Amino acid sequence: MAEQAQVESRPSRTRAADDSNRPAPRRRPKNRKAQIATVAAEAFSERGYHGVSVDEIAAAVGISGPALYRHFPNKYALFLHAVTALTEALQAAVAAPDPDSDAAGLGPQDELDRQLLATIRTSIDNRRTGGLYRWDRR
């Protein structure tokens, strides 16, 4: 009988009690691929393709090199993604109508001015990654 009382007086350990002491599992952000691409574009722009390693990019994002390969198959694919994203941003800016003017009334010179202004604005907005277009010497 004494043994039974001793067993009953022990606090019960449930799974919920055990889980409350553990830190919540880390989850990947939904935009992890975009984070990697942004960090990579900045690094490539600053130091060139050959001056940057996959491990450096991964460390800057807070992941391991092998984890980066879940998002991009290789370094060149990552570089290509960064260049393509910048190119698409420039194309979209030039193609988009200027909200401050009546596009129907623009002459050729005004349209060219609008496109140049859009290119300049996009280049300024992406100045940290704009160096992707520089030639890389080995």
For the chain, the domain total comes to: 1
Q: Could you report the per-residue pLDDT of 14-41, keeping only the tens digit for each? A: 555 555 666 655 666 788 999 999 999 9
What confidence score (pLDDT) does residue 123 get? 80
**Residue with the larger pLDDT of the pair 102 and 46:** 46
Tell me if 14 is assigned to some domain. no
Torsion of CA 65, 71, 72, 75, to 10 degrees: -30
Element (H, E) at 16: helix 15-21
CA–CA separation, 61 and 11 (whole Å): 43
Helix or strand or coil: residue 57?
helix
**Quick check: is 23 in a domain?**
no
Answer whether residue 89 is part of any domain: yes
CATH of the domain at 47: 1.10.357.10
Mean pLDDT, rounded, of the chain: 79
Is 0.85 surpassed by the pTM of this model?
no
For 124, the domain range is: 29-133
What tokens were used for 107?
Answer: 């002459």
Encoded tokens for 43: 């690094």
The answer to whether residue 106 is domain-embedded is yes
